[in-house]
């Protein structure tokens, strides 16, 4: 399966249905919940991805496990994805669906990467600053990455601002290598 292209087609079909039936928010929440279950439970995921199992067995198990928790239309969507053995594309489909949701609700997701948890004051400052440059509602998502050493990275699908110490060190190293190469010096 060509994941990005098919994932977009699946996401658009589900979104159009949800929009037409005023289920956008509900199906969005259920898709997010289902994907969390999918990611958290490796045995469940492997069961649905197993090519040796009959499609009917997978469909029945999907019904048994999720019929009380998911909207019937979303369950039909999942059965169709599983029937075509495209279960492995569910994270990609959700990613595309989430983009459609964000556009629908006028949201822009921005990831703030730092080497340690930031306090609420910093989130408010980042949010205030980013809101000045966007007409969309900014949704900040924290991510901890000690490898950046210090500073921060602000990243979204529209921009990437790297103000990390790690990037600065890499830049200095490149400059040092350039100067060394110009002088004909060898590195230790």
Q: How far apart are CA 66 and CA 70, in angstroms?
A: 6
Nearest of 85, 90, 89 to residue 37 by alpha carbon: 90
Query: What is the full per-residue pLDDT of the chain (188 aa) written as tens digits?
Result: 456 688 999 999 999 999 999 999 999 999 999 999 999 999 999 999 998 888 889 889 999 999 889 999 999 999 999 989 899 999 999 999 998 998 898 888 889 999 999 888 888 888 888 888 777 788 888 999 999 999 999 988 778 889 999 999 999 988 888 887 777 766 55
CA–CA separation, 57 vs 53, rounded Å?
7
Neighbours of 150 (CB within 10 A): 13
Task: Give first-to-last CA distance, the chain, whole Å.
Answer: 48
The sign of the torsion formed by the CA atoms of 14, 7, 34, 104 equals negative
Structure tokens at 18: 């949800």
* pLDDT for 126: 85
Distances (CA, A) of 10 to 15, 33, 89, 107, 131: 9, 18, 10, 21, 32
Q: Within 10 A of 36 (CB to CB), how many other CB atoms are there?
A: 11
- Enter the DSSP assignment of 67: T
Indicate the Cα dihedral angle 75, 80, 81, 83, nearest 10°: 120
Check residue 1 and give its pLDDT.
Answer: 46
């Amino acid at each position: 399966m060509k994941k990005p292209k098919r994932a977009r087609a699946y996401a658009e079909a589900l979104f159009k249905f949800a929009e037409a039936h005023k289920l956008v928010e509900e199906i969005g929440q259920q898709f997010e919940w289902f994907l969390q279950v999918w990611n958290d439970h490796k045995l469940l995921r492997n069961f649905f991805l197993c090519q040796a199992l009959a499609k009917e067995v997978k469909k029945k198990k999907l019904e048994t496990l999720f019929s009380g928790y998911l909207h019937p239309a979303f369950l039909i969507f999942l059965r169709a994805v599983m029937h075509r053995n495209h279960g492995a594309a569910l994270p990609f489909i959700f990613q595309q669906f989430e983009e459609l949701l964000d556009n629908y609700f006028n949201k822009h997701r921005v990831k703030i990467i730092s080497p340690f948890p930031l306090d609420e004051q910093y989130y408010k400052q980042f949010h205030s600053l980013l809101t000045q440059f966007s007409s969309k509602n900014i949704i900040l998502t924290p991510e901890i990455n000690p490898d950046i050493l210090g500073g921060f990275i602000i990243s979204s699908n529209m921009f990437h601002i790297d103000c990390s110490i790690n990037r600065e060190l890499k830049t200095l190293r490149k400059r040092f290598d350039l100067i060394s190469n110009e002088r004909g010096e060898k590195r230790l």
